[in-house]
């Protein structure tokens, strides 16, 4: 079976492409390269440059590569941008998904793996977030991911597709320096960026009801996340797989923002103290996954720790900073 990975030249998508290929799974990639980089992909993986909202292109790609399963990662994913441009987020994250599902159904694709997010939970008030924790997203990005899940499940029921939705928690790290995240949107590269410019890291709020007053999050190494995709894809490909599954992808361990910033200082050797600023709207005091269902259903558990995430991300940051000079 051949898997089409949309957004496969991006930070997470390229890790998935490498992991799938190394495991002997045939893949093809569709990416508009708005944030992807062809250099990230294994040399033998075919890349089609284009938009998942283009039905004619999708029809051709699905046929040309004899696609039997789709891993859909292509999406816009920046929360502040989603607040400023909600219609764009609904159009690109939900509208394009509808086009892709229609094309997949018409092509006879019967396996669909959807990249979702812990943002669907909003600000959960629980020690561990399970898949049964109520979903209450607090921004358009999270809303589009939840709507995407609804759409995937509905299309699966209508067209006989087996579907899986993976709810990622906080992704960090790199399997190799050249695959590192080059954007400055998540906390680890944001701290790197501040340190590189000679500025102190920022912590947004230190008066939360947590042990050190800063938000607690579940961080997952991107290589572990890619392996979760492989496990989910293989489960979907099994002859007796039917219906839908929704699974959290995290480590099940909380790390506070202050703990993470301290660890980054140890890894980089730049231990300058963080400055504390006001809380950001919508930040939950604690968001840590229960990863039990992933273990039972996918046979997958995370194996890499936070220090490994930070160290691998830092090596990638230095490589890309050097290349940019």
Catalytic positions: 141
C-alpha to C-alpha distance for 302 and 304, rounded to whole angstroms: 6
Residue from 46, 19, 42, 20 nearest 31 by CA: 46
Residues 272 and 196 sit within 8 Å (Cβ to Cβ) = no
Sign of the CA dihedral with 238 first, then 134, 72, and 250 last: negative
Residue from 24, 22, 39 nearest 8 by CA: 39
User: 109 CB contacts (<8 Å, ≥6 apart)?
Assistant: 62, 67, 68, 69, 70, 161
- Provide DSSP, 165-234: EEEE-EEE--SSGGGS---S-SHHHHHHHHHHTT---EEE-S-SSSTTSS-EE-EEEHHHHHHHHHHHHH
Assign 68 to helix, strand or coil: strand
Residues 13 and 39 sit within 8 Å (Cβ to Cβ) = no
Neighbour count for residue 199 (Cβ, 10 Å): 12
- The residue behind tokens 């080059």 is 182
Neighbour count for residue 127 (Cβ, 10 Å): 10
In order of 165, 178, 284, 323, the CA distances from 84 in angstroms are: 26, 32, 21, 32
47-49 and 27-31 strand pairing: parallel
């Amino acid at each position: 079976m051949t898997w089409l990975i949309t957004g496969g030249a991006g930070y997470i998508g390229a890790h998935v492409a490498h992991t799938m290929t190394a495991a002997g799974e045939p893949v093809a990639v569709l990416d508009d390269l708005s944030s992807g980089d062809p250099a990230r992909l294994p040399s033998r993986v075919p890349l089609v440059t284009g938009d998942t909202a283009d039905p004619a292109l999708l029809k051709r790609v699905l046929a040309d590569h004899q696609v039997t399963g789709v891993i859909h990662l292509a999406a816009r994913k920046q929360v502040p941008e989603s607040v400023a441009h909600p219609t764009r987020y609904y159009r690109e994250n939900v509208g394009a998904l509808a086009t892709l599902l229609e094309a997949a159904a018409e092509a006879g694709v019967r396996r669909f793996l959807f990249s979702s997010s812990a943002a669907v939970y909003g600000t959960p008030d629980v020690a561990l977030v399970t898949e049964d924790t109520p979903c209450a997203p607090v921004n358009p990005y999270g809303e589009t991911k939840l709507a995407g899940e609804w759409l995937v499940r509905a299309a699966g029921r209508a067209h006989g597709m087996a579907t899986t939705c993976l709810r990622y928690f906080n992704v960090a790290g790199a399997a190799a320096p050249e695959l590192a995240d080059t954007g400055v949107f998540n906390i680890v590269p944001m701290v790197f960026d501040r340190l590189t410019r000679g500025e102190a890291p920022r912590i947004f709020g230190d008066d939360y009801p947590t042990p050190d007053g800063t938000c607690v999050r579940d961080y997952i190494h991107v290589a572990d996340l890619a392996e979760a995709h492989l496990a989910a894809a293989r489960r979907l490909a099994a002859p007796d797989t039917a219906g839908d599954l929704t699974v959290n992808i995290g480590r099940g361990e909380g790390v506070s923002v202050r703990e993470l910033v301290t660890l980054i200082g140890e890894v980089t050797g730049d231990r300058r103290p963080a400055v504390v600023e006001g809380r950001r709207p919508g930040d939950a005091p604690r968001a840590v996954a229960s990863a039990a269902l992933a273990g039972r259903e996918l046979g997958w558990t995370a194996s890499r720790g936070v220090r490994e995430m930070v160290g691998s991300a830092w090596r990638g940051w230095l490589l890309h900073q050097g290349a940019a000079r």
